[in-house]
C-alpha cells in the first residue's frame, strides 16, 4: 500500500516502482490534523546569550537516549532561532506549565517574542533558562539533520532541573493549548468531540 497505509510487498521489492514517486501526496492539513491527535507538552527552546538570546515555542521535543543523554526537537528551516543555535552551539528546552499559555503564544510569533520581558537565569552554557518553567534541560548541540521543511536538532543534556515541582504541564491537543486541569472542566472545547 501507499505511504498513507501499511507498506505491502509491492513497494518493498527492489524492482518495483520508486516508493516515493508512486506514493500519493499527503495533504499537509490532514497530516497536521491527524498528528494533532497525539497529545504533547509544550516547550520554549531558548538559545543565544545576552542581546542575541531568543526563544521559539516548540512541541516537537522528545527524549532520545539516556546513556548518552540525548534529546531532539524539530525546527522550521526558516526559523529565526536556527542561526542563533548554530552560532551558540547550545540550547535549552523549557517545559511550560499550565498557566504559561500566553507565554507559549508570545514565543510562537515572529514579532512578539521578547526574551527580556520574561524572568530568565543563565544555564551553565550561558543560554537563558525561563525561570518560571516547569523544568528545563540545558544542552550542547551535537547534530543537525535535514528533515523536509524542518531541521532536527540533537542535543547532549549537560544540566537539568525542576523549577516548578507542583505545577501541571501545558499541553497541546487538536491544535489547542490547555492544561491538564482543563480536562476536568466540563464543556472545555479542547476535549469535546
Q: Is 80 in the site for ligand FMN (CB under 6 A)?
A: yes
SS3 20: helix
Q: Is 102 in the site for ligand FMN (CB under 6 A)?
A: no
8 or 148: CB nearest ligand FMN: 148
User: Is the Cα torsion angle 62, 65, 68, 74 positive or negative in sign?
Assistant: negative
Tell me if 97 sits within 8 A of 43, measured CB to CB: no
Tell me if 122 sits within 8 A of 131, measured CB to CB: no
Q: Are strands 70-76 and 40-41 parallel, antiparallel or unpaired?
A: unpaired
Given candidates 169, 172, 178, 182, which one binds ligand FMN under the rule CB under 6 A?
A: 172
Given candidates 46, 56, 88, 97, which one binds ligand FMN under the rule CB under 6 A?
A: 56
Size of the site for ligand FMN (CB under 6 A): 18
Residue least distant from ligand FMN (Cβ) = 60
HSE-up (13 A, CA, CB side) for residue 114: 4
Q: Is 157 in the site for ligand FMN (CB under 6 A)?
A: no
Summarize as ranges the residues that interact with ligand FMN (CB under 6 A): 42, 56-60, 74-76, 79-81, 104, 107-108, 110, 172, 177
Amino acid at each position: 500500500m501507499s505511504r498513507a497505509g501499511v507498506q505491502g510487498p509491492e513497494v518493498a521489492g527492489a524492482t518495483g516502482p520508486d516508493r516515493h514517486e508512486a506514493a500519493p501526496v499527503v495533504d499537509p492539513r490532514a497530516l497536521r490534523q491527524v498528528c494533532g491527535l497525539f497529545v504533547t507538552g509544550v516547550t520554549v527552546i531558548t538559545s543565544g546569550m545576552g542581546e542575541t538570546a531568543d526563544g521559539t515555542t516548540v512541541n516537537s521535543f522528545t527524549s532520545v537516549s539516556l546513556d548518552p543523554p540525548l534529546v531532539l526537537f524539530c525546527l522550521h528551516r526558516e526559523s529565526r532561532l536556527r542561526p542563533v543555535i548554530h552560532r551558540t552551539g547550545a540550547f535549552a528546552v523549557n517545559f511550560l506549565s499550565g498557566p504559561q499559555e500566553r507565554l507559549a503564544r508570545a514565543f510562537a510569533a515572529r514579532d512578539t517574542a521578547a526574551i527580556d520581558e520574561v524572568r530568565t537565569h543563565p544555564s551553565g552554557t550561558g543560554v537563558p533558562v525561563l525561570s518560571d518553567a516547569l523544568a528545563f534541560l540545558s544542552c550542547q548541540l551535537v547534530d543537525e539533520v535535514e528533515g523536509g521543511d524542518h531541521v532536527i536538532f540533537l542535543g547532549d543534556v549537560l544540566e537539568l532541573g525542576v523549577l516548578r515541582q507542583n505545577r501541571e504541564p501545558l499541553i497541546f491537543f487538536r491544535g489547542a493549548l490547555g492544561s491538564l486541569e482543563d480536562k476536568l472542566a466540563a464543556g472545555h472545547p479542547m476535549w469535546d468531540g
